[in-house]
Amino acid sequence: MEFVKVARKDAVAPGKMLVVRVGEHDVVLYNVDGALYASRDFCPHAGYELSKSFFRGKYVRCSLHSWEFDVTNGQNTANAHICLKRYDVKVEGEDVLVSAEPLPKAPPTT
């Protein structure tokens, strides 16, 4: 899998998110207690930018219609069959790298 360097590790503090570009897509990095996760900057409901939304703990809530997602697995909190497009993230030294291709959809946990 190809990875793209997108940021320095200190660019996204715990509890914060950061928009980066991966290929032709905007991707949001989320820092959940020091662990980094990434999803497309796109709510599957109406296409609103998640980077302009509310992020707390491990949840991002779309500001347009309040759809909420667990950024650690991409699943909608009301319907686990609805998921964000997620990307693998790895840290090498101080560099954050994101996979060029989205991860396969995770099976619902509930």
Q: Model-level pTM? A: 0.93
Q: What is the pLDDT of residue 105?
A: 79
What is the C-alpha to C-alpha distance for residues 109 and 97, in angstroms, rounded to an integer? 27
CA distance 53 to 10: 21
Q: Is the pLDDT of residue 110 over 70?
A: no
6-21 pLDDT, tens digit each = 999 999 999 999 999 9
Alpha-carbon distances, residue 57 vs 6, 17, 23, 90, 110 (angstroms): 23, 11, 28, 20, 19
Q: Does residue 16 contact residue 55 with C-beta atoms inside 8 Å?
A: yes
Measure the CA–CA gap between 89 and 34, rounded to whole angstroms: 12
- pLDDT digit string (tens) for 36-68? 999 999 999 989 999 999 999 999 999 999 999
